Structure 1
């Protein structure tokens, strides 16, 4: 943990840098207020710092493709084939084009260009909640200087089937954090639109004693999903090419559906408890980075050596 003196020095350094180089430091205030710790954007010390650094300095433009929820569907189909997405019911540019009373319930209405906006429609009664605010979704824009992945997305409304279990409850959400194409952590979100519990596991389904946004389940350890191995395989496929990304999946223990690919969890405005778990995640990131670099070097050296021309052995 940084001392008060070290915090003040870093804070003043960031304040000075923001006056001459504003964009990378526009978003440090919220994380600072939430955690009490000044982000180290230029030299990350934990996973949150890494997220903020990547928000400031783009590392892979493909993040902007998978951030568009409609473009993501095409990305998933290209990588996995058919059968891994909720049914797409409608896409509209204008609110008045939506045929809300004609769509089969339950369904989900959301925009393709924004995070945190959606309506769950279980019955005709829920349509009353779709109000003027929803009409303004097409005008909504993230701060593109802060979250560059949202830049220039053509906004659309789209309607998908709602993924529910036999009791008409939304399926549990499995959010798999990957570093360099390898899963390192799984969040299981249950009852997301009710009490909302969040349990954190290793890829081997061992509980991790850490908490982020919501408390863990009060009951016994949640059962390991039957589809876990395939979910991890899907996460590897979809996260390939990204230094870090979160692959959000749903499963009913038979089928698996892709929800989103998330680059910037909570826009970097998060705090793990215990605090040092964030540092542990960053160390995992560094280990996976070094392993990936070593593997790539070996791969390309082998390719280079295959072209080595051997000198003819003289005959006697």
Structure 2
């Protein structure tokens, strides 16, 4: 039934059809600005205002097109960013690196520990392998998925130009959990505006297939900013991580001088680890943000400071 509904929508909804075809690469040859205009209108049902952008999602599209700091390519590279983080805040915040390769066939799986994470350095998700028990691993399938990941031109999916020239590699990192008896790793995603950290989005139950997203400010007050969190009951909260105040400080330091960036951090056994730097969450097409949040975050991005 779900497939039938999607099929009918594909036939009769031209905006939905455009998004699906764009994600499949049909419009890869379209110019950046033209594709962003069409995709924005297809998702939000209104024209993208690049002449005078006001909302968060609009300004992220503007930044894609006009904020071309070459250092961003290093910052989105999951391998090279390690040197950047080492210089900015220290090597102790890096998840231990096990290995790096250009080709999946070069990986010696026998030498890897029983638990590890494999991922491409230039994209988001495609090809990733989170291994919790190497004895159950289908190595040929893992290699096949990694090859698909390496072949992906991630820049084309949302025209996020920093990814365009990342030299593609595979990295292996230590498998991490929140605590010694935890089976999951909680994401803490900090929304940062030139050194000011407005809030953190906590991502819970990622392995369940039904991830929960909740926003909190630096005083650990719930902020009802998205469609998934607005209906949380009165007084709702979750336990504040022991290192949360320090994580806000780190996010502020890493985001200074950048009009907007999302800094992703983790906490494991009271130790903070760096996750990644994201310039365009949901590629600037986040329809889960409440309209008032879209405007609120948009007001915090000052495009006049972009050089």
TM range (shorter): 0.7 to 0.9
User: Under a length normalisation based on structure 1, what TM-score does the superposition of the two structures give?
Assistant: 0.78
Q: Say which of 105, 112, 117 aligns to 1:103.
A: 112
Aligned-pair Cα RMSD in Å = 2.5
Aligned to 1:151: 164
What SS class does the counterpart of residue 224 from structure 1 fall into?
Answer: coil
Q: Could you list the per-position Cα deviations for residues 198-235 of structure 1 after superposition, in whole angstroms to 9, with x for gaps in the alignment?
A: 11111221111122678887894111111111101111
Q: Which residue does 1:269 correspond to in 2? A: 285
Take 1:76 and 1:275, find their aligned partners in 2: how far apart are those partners?
34
Q: Which has the higher mean CA deviation after the structures are superposed, 29-38 or 157-166?
A: 29-38
**Does 1:180 pair with 2:189?**
no
Asked if structure 1 preserves the Cα contact closer than 8 Å seen for 2:189 and 2:200, the reply is yes
Task: Look up the match of 1:285.
Answer: 301
2:79 corresponds to which of 58, 70, 78? 70
User: Which structure 2 segments of 5+ residues have no match?
Assistant: 1-29
Does 2:208 correspond to 1:198? Answer: no
In 2, Cα distance between the equivalents of 1:86 and 1:122?
Answer: 16
Shift of 1:170: 2.5
Choose 48-57 or 122-131, whichever is displaced more. 122-131
Quote the offset at 1:131 in angstroms: 4.8
Aligned 8 A contact 1:225 1:253 in 2:
no
Distance 1:158 1:22, change over 3 A: closer
The 5 A counterparts of 1:113-124 are 113-117=122-126, 118-124=128-134
* Residue equivalent to 2:183: 169
CA pair 86-217 structure 1, distance change in 2 beyond 3 A: farther
For residue 89 of structure 2, the aligned residue among 80, 102, 105 is 80
- The Cα offsets for residues 246-276 of structure 1, whole Å up to 9 and x where unpaired, read as 0000013610000000001111121244212
The alpha-carbon deviation at position 193 of structure 1 amounts to 2.2
Q: 1:180 to 1:135 in 2, by over 3 A?
A: same
Q: Which piece of structure 1 moves more, 121-130 or 208-217?
A: 208-217
Paired residue secondary structure (1:205): coil
- Number of aligned residue pairs: give it: 270
Q: Tell me the residue number matched to 1:39.
A: 48
1:89 and 2:98 aligned: yes
Maintained 8 Å contact 1:251/1:257: yes
Q: CA 1:213/1:86 → structure 2, altered by over 3 Å: closer, same or farther?
A: farther
